[in-house]
Amino acid sequence: MSPRLELLQPYPFQKLRELFAGLTPNPALPHVNLSIGEPKHPAPQLVKDALIANLDGLSAYPATAGSDALRGAIANWIGRRYGIPTPDAVREVVPVNGSREALFAFAQAVIDTSGPVTPVVLSPNPFYQIYEGAALLAGAEPYYVNCVGANRFQPDWDAVPEDVWARTQLVYVCSPGNPTGAVASLEDWQKLFALSDRHGFVIASDECYSEIYAGEPPLGGLEASVKLGRGLHNIVMFSSLSKRSNVPGLRSGFVAGDARVLEKFLLYRTYHGCAMSPTVQAASALAWGDETHVEDNRRQYAAKFDAVTPILASVLDVTAPDAAFYLWAKTPIDDTEFARRLYAEAHVTVLPGSYLARAAHGVNPGSGYVRIALVAPLADCVEAAHRIARFCQHL
């Protein structure tokens, strides 16, 4: 077996199960799980109907590049959503089986280990654990760039040493961020693009939460690159229908951006054996073309934030995020102890922030926080918020 597998750390939810081992939560309270970022709103009817109407697609092998209809629907959505020239549907769009699969596979295609030094992959810290696993299994060294409140929860690119930049081949960006919900500004992007242009690394922009927001739509990586007059050079974005359209089981997303990079990524995928089912492609094309269900989705999350945030803000240091469906709440005690006691006493599950980060540069930037995913129904989220408030008052 590959020795690199030994470098992988347990997934946050495995750690959570171990943290709760032996606990018996209050049996008088029904469980409310706010730990997993799994959308719980109903899947849109148009997607379900399209799946049924296109079951004949199960009788054909799918093309790795996807259908013309799906690539066109994605390209048109990008143009409309970000107000940029519509990407070339053939050269600048690749459908994928969800952003998670593609974020991992991308590093395997990008990282070049043939040189005399170990390549580096940068990621925000806290981060989506796929970034770390992808880097390690590609033979690269992960480097964690801390995201703290004093810097708007944005990566502190200025803190990265020059010798690390010199070895960097890939940078993962997550905006809106998981777990903080922070959105990168045009100035943030400009700084990162200048570093990419100087050192030649590729930027992988994870934007799977981009359609869950209140107010103005979050700025995207491709949008920022075009606005700054650099085209799509060395930038690709990853997006998904999972959060946008409440279909995490559909496993449908895309990668779009630099045609030169995507040409090689598509070649890799041809051998990787990860083509999307024609049935799923047909349903996905319809989903990317419809905004009505997305607007309803946003309204449901907005109602949860409006109801829950004031309750929690009365006992915790927490504010509504720029985007996404998480609250990143500072805890009055150790985050793991907070999550453990909350589960035992209030039967509410949240995720310790330290499980989403690594100790780097003398600190674990997730320590002292918990991630609260507002994915349960509104009434359940409100009930959980009141339980958390009572729990905090008794600490």
* Per-residue confidence band for 384, with pLDDT thresholds at 50, 70 and 90: very high
Rounded average pLDDT over 48-70: 96
Q: In the beta sheet, which residues pair with residue 125?
A: 146
Q: How far is CA 334 from the centre of its chain?
A: 25
Question: With pLDDT > 70 as the criterion, what percentage of the chain qualifies?
Answer: 100
Predicted pLDDT at 340: 98
Place of tokens 């696993």: 133
Predicted pLDDT at 370: 98
> For 70-83, what is each residue's pLDDT tens digit?
999 999 999 999 99
Element (H, E) at 280: helix 278-288
Q: Left, alpha or beta for 30 (phi > 0: left; psi -120 to 50: alpha)?
A: beta
Predicted pLDDT at 140: 98
CB 197 within 8 A of CB 228: no
* Per-residue confidence band for 20, with pLDDT thresholds at 50, 70 and 90: very high
DSSP-based helix, strand, coil % in the chain, nearest 5 = 45, 15, 40
pTM above 0.95, yes or no: yes
CB 120 within 8 A of CB 169: yes
Cα–Cα distance measured from residue 149 to residue 28, given in angstroms and rounded to the nearest whole number: 37
User: Identity (one letter) of the amino acid at 329?
Assistant: A
* Per-residue confidence band for 273, with pLDDT thresholds at 50, 70 and 90: confident
Domains of the chain, each with CATH number or no CATH: 3-42+293-393 (3.90.1150.10), 56-290 (3.40.640.10)
Cα–Cα distance measured from residue 174 to residue 4, given in angstroms and rounded to the nearest whole number: 25
> For 284-316, what is each residue's pLDDT tens digit?
999 999 999 999 999 999 999 999 999 999 999
Rounded average pLDDT over 198-225: 97
Rounded average pLDDT over 168-195: 98
Extract the tokens encoding 298: 């946003």
User: Identity (one letter) of the amino acid at 89?
Assistant: A
- Please, what is the average pLDDT of the chain? 97
DSSP-derived 3-state class of residue 199: helix
Cα–Cα distance measured from residue 258 to residue 19, given in angstroms and rounded to the nearest whole number: 43
- Dump the DSSP string for 97-109: S-HHHHHHHHHHH
> For 347-358, what is each residue's pLDDT tens digit?
999 999 999 999
Is it the case that residue 63 has pLDDT exceeding 90?
A: yes
Predicted pLDDT at 50: 98
Is it the case that residue 377 has pLDDT exceeding 90?
A: yes
Cα–Cα distance measured from residue 85 to residue 231, given in angstroms and rounded to the nearest whole number: 10
